[in-house]
Chain A
């Protein structure tokens, strides 16, 4: 009992274990020679010399999502059921309210599409050299849909909003879920709004 108490009191931490393994004499070396638990810990430290290193950092979420989406993309190629969305509202085609000049509002655009039971709203806003986009799909989904624009795949946040920014506004959009693919008609961004 006495021996055990003496030994447990002198258990070694990471640094002490490494030091003790290098020295043949001293209290720590003696403890290491006698203590099976510390020897086990040292064995592990030597086997995995990465102990003490900072944990590996996570890649940015967008990169991970893009890599995850590689398998999703394949499914599109494989061919799921496809539905074409139709445009039901475009703010650029609406007449300007009396007394409002069109120049400022041309930097904003609101679009609404419908496909089967799904309604998709898209809001576009041009700021400096970028277009800030927000989209929301309302309807019954069994699986979480993703928005596919060219090579990029976007996931919705906890509020069901897809948000992204790009130098160019999107022309070809797909909304994908396990149930199928909703394909949007090609979007034109020519500022041909009627005043």
Chain B
């Protein structure tokens, strides 16, 4: 289900849709909250407040297709607000140093959003493709082509076409979810 479809159900008062949305993007909001260097309790506040703001503003959200970007921006703002508050409390607040160190660079936030979208799309793909793509692109240790083929118990010459088909399926899911269209700005489509 795309974010727009989910959002329509939320606006109609569907609690299950809201729960689905929270589960879909919780790891993204959590990632933004934790990367801001907040204390655990501030991190919990940041996480919670982001969802509160989304729910409170649900009738005002203009473009549900950009929901993940909205969440990242809001969580980032909240995190910075909480950082400032914590710094004031500790009397260590130094505006210039915070700006200079750039605790949450836009590029990093963009990458988090991109990663979350990819992980969401991977959940939608069949288990075999998911495992193949994970082995190729997300394995923490670099494996050779032959090692990956052996791990899946298939000949090495079958793996190339499987990888291509799986990538094609992933692309279709990303398009269906509206993630790829979103990424078109300034970038070539896959």
Contact = CB atoms under 8 A, between A and B. Distances in A.
- A pairs with B: yes
Interface of A: 4-5, 8-9, 11-15, 35-38, 40-41, 43-45, 47-60, 63-64, 66-68, 70-72, 74-75
A13 B145 contact: yes
A63 B119 CA distance: 20
Nearest to A151: B48
Nearest to A56: B27
B148 A13 contact: yes
Interface string B60-101: 000000000000000000000000000000000000000000
B119 A58 contact: no
A42 B80 CA distance: 36
Contacts of B139: 14
B52 interface: yes
A63 B44 contact: yes
Contacts, number: 120
B183 A59 contact: no
Given A44-B137, A47-B190, A55 B119 contact: yes
Contacts of A13: 136, 142-145, 148
B59 interface: no
Contacts of A75: 15
Interface of B: 10, 15, 18-19, 22-23, 26-31, 34, 44, 47-48, 51-52, 55, 111-112, 114-116, 118-119, 136-140, 142-145, 148, 156-157, 159-161, 163-164, 167, 170-171, 183, 187-188, 190
Contacts of A52: 137-138, 140
B2 to A, nearest CB: 19
Contact of B15 (A4, A5, A11, A71): A71
Contact of A57 (B18, B30, B161, B164): B30
B137 A56 contact: no
A41 B26 contact: no
Contact of A11 (B34, B138, B160, B170): B160
B22 A11 contact: no
Nearest to B143: A13
Contacts of B55: 70-71, 74
A56 B28 contact: yes
26 contacts: A11-B160, A13-B145, A37-B160, A38-B160, A41-B136, A41-B164, A44-B170, A48-B114, A48-B118, A51-B138, A54-B140, A56-B30, A56-B31, A56-B112, A56-B115, A56-B116, A57-B27, A57-B31, A59-B27, A59-B30, A63-B26, A63-B48, A64-B23, A66-B48, A70-B55, A74-B55
A117 to B, nearest CB: 24
Contact of A55 (B48, B138, B183): B138
B115 A53 contact: yes
Contacts of B119: 55-56
A47 B51 contact: no
Given A36-B164, A59-B47, A70-B51, 18 more contacts: A8-B156, A8-B157, A11-B159, A15-B142, A37-B160, A37-B164, A43-B190, A44-B171, A52-B137, A53-B115, A55-B119, A56-B28, A56-B112, A59-B27, A64-B23, A70-B18, A70-B55, A71-B10
Given A44-B190, A68-B19, A49 B26 contact: no
Contacts of A9: 156-157
